[in-house]
């Protein structure tokens, strides 16, 4: 079956222009710092480059500057795509990675304007290297585990890299038909189809990366208390269940600290609810900064916080609770030119979870200890050493 190379070449600008417009419409009016606008620009440059190659082909080389401009645009498109990926991951992109490829492509096209085979070899190596740089940037270890979007983008960029390098290799092996755009050589046709697939893969991958990041941020926000920035009650309970299950298997002690801000209603009544919000956020930050990396602080409700301490016995939990109490006692919250000072009462409960131990039972017991601290005068730590109450042992709280 005969393949019309001009039609095949025109598929690139049609597909590329459609995708570029779709991307730019998405980001129109809200040019975010995720690189999507730059990515749309790179696809638009590809859409401009290939019509130049088609016109140059039909003009039988009468307008050599079209080939020069097309190669420069193509190199610039891949360079801008690399800059878009760098921007997405918050890394600086050196200017030389944009200017050098464009300059090399333009200079090589001018010097070898009448030697299509040499031009294809040089261009293939250049564009192949750019594709490899894109793969490397997407799969860098600092980016974390690759999701579906990054994987799709890396596959597409690898396809671009392979297609250009195999074109260069084909010419070096004597398959000079590869250097002629109008010749429907098998490698020529395969290259264009692979390039078109690579364009679709990379763009869908980049868009999917942005969606995956947005979804992850939404999930994170859904599990955080918006005022204090610590896990909310739902996230806290999910984490506590996991900690108790693991501790039960390993027969290690888990400690809970129930924390309540003393006389918090007075703060709201005296300074207003915005001041109360500031105090809550400050106490949460103070508590968080006093914990170990493996500990978890969450807002349990109102002015109460719950702290989960894995592999910690009652004595260790009591020492940490006293340390936190002193930190909060020394803290000043500046509000409307005044210093607001608060204290906290803490209840401590620790045990080695058994198969029957439930999170609600331990929380209820830590809560009893916290109320004992309040009844004993506030601004103190109380450790619950008595056995669980029958109701608490059944998970009631």
- In whole angstroms, what is the distance from residue 47 CA to residue 255 CA? 62
Residue that has been written with the tokens 């200079």 in this structure: 107
Query: Who contacts 163 (Cβ-Cβ below 8 Å, separation ≥6)?
Result: 190, 191, 194, 195, 198
Q: Which two tokens stand for residue 115?
A: 């030697």
Query: Who contacts 176 (Cβ-Cβ below 8 Å, separation ≥6)?
Result: 117
Active site positions, annotated: 303
């Amino acid at each position: 079956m005969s393949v019309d190379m001009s039609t095949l070449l025109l598929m690139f600008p049609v597909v590329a222009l459609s995708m570029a417009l779709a991307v730019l419409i998405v980001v129109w009016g809200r040019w975010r710092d995720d690189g999507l606008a730059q990515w749309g620009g790179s696809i638009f440059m590809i859409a401009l480059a290939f019509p130049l190659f088609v016109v140059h082909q039909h003009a039988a080389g009468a307008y050599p500057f079209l080939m020069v401009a097309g190669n420069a645009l193509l190199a610039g498109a891949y360079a801008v795509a690399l800059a878009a990926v760098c921007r997405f991951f918050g890394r600086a992109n050196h200017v030389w990675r944009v200017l050098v490829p464009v300059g090399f492509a333009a200079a090589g096209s001018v010097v070898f304007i009448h030697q299509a085979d040499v031009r294809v070899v040089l261009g293939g190596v250049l564009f192949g290297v750019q594709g490899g740089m894109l793969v490397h940037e997407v799969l860098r270890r600092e980016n974390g585990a690759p999701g579906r979007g990054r994987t799709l983008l890396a596959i597409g960029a690898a396809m671009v890299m392979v297609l250009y390098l195999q074109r260069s290799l084909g010419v070096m092996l004597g398959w000079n038909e590869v250097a002629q755009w109008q010749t429907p050589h098998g490698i020529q046709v395969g290259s264009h189809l692979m390039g078109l697939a690579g364009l679709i893969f990379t763009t869908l991958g980049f868009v999917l990366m942005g969606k995956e990041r947005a979804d992850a941020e939404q999930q994170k926000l859904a599990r955080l208390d918006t005022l204090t920035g610590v896990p909310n009650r739902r996230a806290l309970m999910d984490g506590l269940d996991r900690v108790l299950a693991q501790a039960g298997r390993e027969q290690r002690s888990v400690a809970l600290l129930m924390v309540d801000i003393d006389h918090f209603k007075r703060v709201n009544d005296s300074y207003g609810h915005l001041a109360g919000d500031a105090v809550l956020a400050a106490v949460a930050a103070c508590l968080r900064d006093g914990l170990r990396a493996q500990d978890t602080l969450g807002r349990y409700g109102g002015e109460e916080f719950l702290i989960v301490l894995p592999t910690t016995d009652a004595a260790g939990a009591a020492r940490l609770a006293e340390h936190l109490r002193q930190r909060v006692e020394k803290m000043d919250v500046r509000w409307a030119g005044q210093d607001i000072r608060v204290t906290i009462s803490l209840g401590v409960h620790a045990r080695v979870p058994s198969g029957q131990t439930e999170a609600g039972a331990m929380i209820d017991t830590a809560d009893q200890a916290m109320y004992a601290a309040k009844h004993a005068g506030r601004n103190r730590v109380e450790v619950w050493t008595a056995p669980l109450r029958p109701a608490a042992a059944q998970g009631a709280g």
